[in-house]
Amino acid sequence: MPKIIDHDAYRQELATKAIDVFIEHGYHGLGMRGIADAIGVSKSALYHYFPSKQELFAASTALITQPRGIYGTSEDTQVPVTKDESVKAMLDTLYQRFQGEMLLLLDYIRGKTTSDIASDPLMKLANQQYLNELKNSVGDSSANQAYALMLGGLLMRLFDGNQTEIDEVAAWITSLPSDPNT
C-alpha cells in the first residue's frame, strides 16, 4: 500500500525546518541544495514543494510571523490574551532569535533600494503581523511606538550584553496609553 502523505503538512514542516537554517546562514548563505542538506531532504523534494528559495523563504516568514510564531506557542497552547502576558511573551520569543533574525534581515535587504524594501511583500507581512499583535495589546494609537520600543529595547539588550532586562522593555511598552477598547 502506498505511503499517504499530507502534502500541506509536509510543506509546512519543511518551511518550519528552514526557519532555523535561514536564521543561521542568512538569506544568501545557502542555495537550495545547502538548505535541503541542512534540513535532511533531497534537493528535488525541496524543489517539489518550493520552486525557489524565495518561495521557501516566504513560507518560512509566513510561519514565523503568525501569532503562534510571534508568541512562541504550540498548536495546543493558547496565545496570551492580557496586555502584560502578550507583550512579555512576544519579547521573550523574539529575543531568543533576535540576533539571528537581525542578521537575516540585513542579509535579505542587502543590495535593495529603500523603495524595494518598502514594497517588499515579506517586509510588509512581517511588519503588519507584529503591528497587529501589538495593536491587540496596546491599541491602534500606540502600536507604532510599541513596535519601536520593542525593537529598540531588544537591540539595546543585544548591545549591552543583556543588561537591559526583558521585563524593563516590557514595562516601557505596557506603560503606553491604551485605546479604551483594548
User: Are residues 79 and 157 located together in one domain of the fold?
Assistant: yes
Express each pLDDT in 97-153 by its tens digit.
999 999 999 999 999 999 999 999 999 999 999 999 999 999 999 999 999 999 999
Radius of gyration from C-alpha coordinates of the chain: 18
| Residue 70 within a domain | no
User: Are residues 59 and 81 located together in one domain of the fold?
Assistant: no
Q: What percent of the chain has pLDDT over 90?
A: 81
Alpha helices in 27-179 (DSSP H): 32-39, 43-49, 53-64, 67-71, 83-96, 98-109, 114-119, 121-138, 143-159, 166-174
Give me the mean pLDDT over the 11-22 stretch.
Answer: 95
Q: How many domains does the chain have?
A: 2
Query: What CATH number has the domain bearing residue 7?
Result: 1.10.10.60
What global pTM score does this model have?
0.86
> What sign for the dihedral angle of Cα 121, 153, 91, 163?
positive
User: Are residues 124 and 45 located together in one domain of the fold?
Assistant: no
| Residue owning grid cell 516590557 | 170
